[in-house]
């Protein structure tokens, strides 16, 4: 065929033909799901990088402050490698399972329970992502208004209330955009969103450079290496290994920051002259780039504020640099980016809900509006009643993100890749890894919930 004529080796030829097995039902499935891709390799790297990069970057300095530089670096590298390996398993499973849709792979592996596990995980992850974006609106928009009005502190006026502002932004901007039947043109915001985050990392590093420049470097580095020689600098000393009640949030925050697996298959389906090897290279480059950006952002943010860093890094800057023009520009850019990203994240959730509940029915504007309003209302309630963004990062990272990155790809691979024996080295490795991942994230989720209970009891006593 015209597709196989473009392929150079056996592996690529298999990747192009994996949806057709000569049977009529699979041939029909091939025609429905397969279409030639038109996205270049470079643009695919850009799209996957944008899918990985999100609000999770704002929580990484907090994670480093509660693990230490060395332990954080080990965990960051470990999660990145596991995430990359899971992409490899997912691409292998898509080839053998005959689908480029995450939920369908779950259905072919484990039937309806597998489909529901994938659906619930993707929905939770996307709702968590939307919540984290709206948390940024809740934290940052009052600061932007304060800066424009020239106030030293945020007043008690309604237009300074983060919860009220989240609802207003949702109704005035996000809801109209989300109600559009086709959100394709909003894809142009992906470049702007990624540019905002690159700008954010540059500002974070620039602020640290300004601190180094404005202080005596000898005193600064002496206070880091020998804090006992300079009284009062113990709180401004970097730690290399830290264990406390907040350490449990670290791996979930990292998992939340690296999750991109629901987007891997759609990006793969749009890749020009696609092959599994080529998509693996796209994933390698994207995750490597994000690994560097994440480490720099976490390190610079931590070395600027040390133990005083908050779960949302940008909010920490607002307490120190109240009227800084560059920081105000960063806030505006990030606010615009996350606000325009919420409808894009909501779109696949609504599509999945429609497919689950009304797959055989015609499009209905009433159903379309109801599902959109319910999803946005639920997300707003989460943002209003959940105390901090770290709770979103922690809970979603230890549940939905863990399922999408570590557990489901392994389970689908074991079930669907028949050409490898259960005694093969790779399958033994996957089988041994899956229970450990499940136990780790179950215990992490338990520790996070215990921390919530402990914090609630402490606040109640006060």
Task: Tell me the three-class secondary structure of the chain, residue by residue.
Answer: CCCHHHCCCHHHHHHHHCCCCCCHHHHHHHHHHCCCCCECHHHHHHHHHHHHCCHHHHHHHHHHHCCCHHHHHHHHHHHHHHHHHHHHHHHHHHHHHCCCCHHHHHHHHHCHHHHHHHHHHHHHHHHHHHHHHHHHHHHHHHHHHHHHHCCCCCCCCHHHCHHHHHHHHHHHHHHHHHCCCCCHHHHHHHHHHHHHHHHHHHHHHHHHHHHHHHCCHHHHHHHHHCHHHCCCCHHHCCCCCCCCCCHHHHHHHHHHHHCCHHHHHHHHHHECCCCHHHHHHHHHHHHHHHHHHHHHHHHHHHHHHHHHCCCCHHHHHHHHCCCCHHHHHHHHHHHHHHHHHHHHHHHHHHHHHHHHHHCCCCCCHHHHHHHHHHHHHHHHHHHHHCCCHHHHHHHHHHCHHHHHHHHHHHHHHHHHCCCCCCCCHHHHHHHHHHHHHHHHHHHHHHHHHHHHHHHHHHHHHC
Q: pLDDT for 211-256, tens place per residue?
A: 554 544 444 444 444 444 444 444 567 788 888 877 888 888 888 8
**Whole-number pLDDT of residue 216:** 46
pTM of the prediction?
0.73
**pLDDT for the residue numbered 228:** 43
Set out the domains of the chain in order of their start, with CATH numbers.
Answer: 40-454 (1.20.1740.10)
Q: What is the pLDDT of residue 300?
A: 84
Q: What's the pLDDT at 352? A: 78
Given a cut of 50, the residues of the chain with pLDDT beneath it are: 1-33, 213, 215-234, 436, 462
What digits encode the pLDDT tens for the residues 289-316?
Answer: 989 989 988 888 888 887 888 877 777 7
């Amino acid at each position: 065929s015209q597709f196989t004529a473009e392929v150079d080796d056996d592996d690529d030829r298999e990747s192009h033909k994996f949806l057709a097995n000569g049977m009529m039902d699979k041939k029909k499935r091939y025609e429905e799901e397969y279409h030639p891709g038109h996205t270049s390799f470079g643009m695919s790297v850009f799209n996957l990088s944008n899918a990985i990069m999100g609000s999770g970057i704002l929580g990484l300095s907090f994670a480093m402050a509660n693990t230490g530089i060395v332990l954080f670096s080990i965990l960051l590298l470990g999660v990145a490698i596991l995430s990359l390996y899971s992409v490899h398993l997912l691409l292998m499973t898509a080839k053998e399972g005959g689908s480029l849709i995450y939920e369908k792979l779950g259905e072919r592996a484990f039937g309806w329970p597998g489909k529901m596990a994938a659906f619930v995980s993707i929905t939770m992850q996307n709702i968590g992502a939307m919540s984290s974006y709206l948390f940024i609106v809740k934290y940052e928009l009052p600061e932007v208004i304060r800066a424009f009005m020239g106030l030293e502190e945020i007043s008690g006026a309604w237009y300074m209330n983060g919860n009220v502002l989240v609802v207003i932004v949702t109704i005035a901007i996000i809801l109209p955009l989300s109600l559009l039947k086709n959100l394709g043109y909003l894809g142009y915001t992906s470049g702007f969103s990624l540019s905002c985050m690159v700008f954010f990392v540059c500002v974070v590093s620039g602020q640290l450079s300004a601190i180094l420049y404005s202080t005596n470097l000898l005193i600064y580095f002496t206070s880091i290496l020998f804090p006992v020689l300079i009284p009062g600098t113990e709180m401004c000393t970097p730690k290399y290994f830290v264990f406390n009640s907040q350490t449990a949030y670290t791996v979930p925050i990292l998992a939340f920051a690296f999750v991109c697996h629901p987007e891997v298959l759609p990006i793969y389906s749009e890749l020009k002259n696609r092959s599994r090897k080529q998509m693996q290279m796209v994933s390698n480059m994207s995750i490597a780039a994000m690994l560097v950006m994440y480490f720099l952002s976490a390190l610079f943010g931590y070395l600027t504020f040390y133990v005083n860093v908050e779960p949302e890094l940008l909010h920490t800057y607002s307490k120190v640099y109240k009227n800084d023009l560059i920081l105000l520009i960063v806030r505006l850019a990030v606010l615009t980016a996350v606000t325009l990203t919420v409808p894009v994240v909501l779109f696949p959730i609504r599509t999945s809900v429609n497919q689950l509940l009304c797959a055989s029915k015609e499009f209905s504007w009433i159903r379309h509006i109801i599902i959109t309003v319910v999803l946005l209302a639920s997300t707003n309630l989460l943002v209003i009643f959940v105390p901090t963004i770290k709770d979103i990062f922690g809970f979603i990272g230890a549940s939905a993100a863990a399922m999408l990155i570590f557990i489901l790809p392994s389970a689908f691979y074991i079930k669907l890749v028949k050409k490898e024996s259960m005694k093969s080295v790779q399958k033994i490795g996957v089988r041994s890894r899956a229970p450990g991942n499940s136990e780790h994230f179950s215990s992490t989720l338990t520790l996070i919930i215990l921390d919530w209970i402990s914090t609630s009891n402490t606040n109640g006593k006060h």
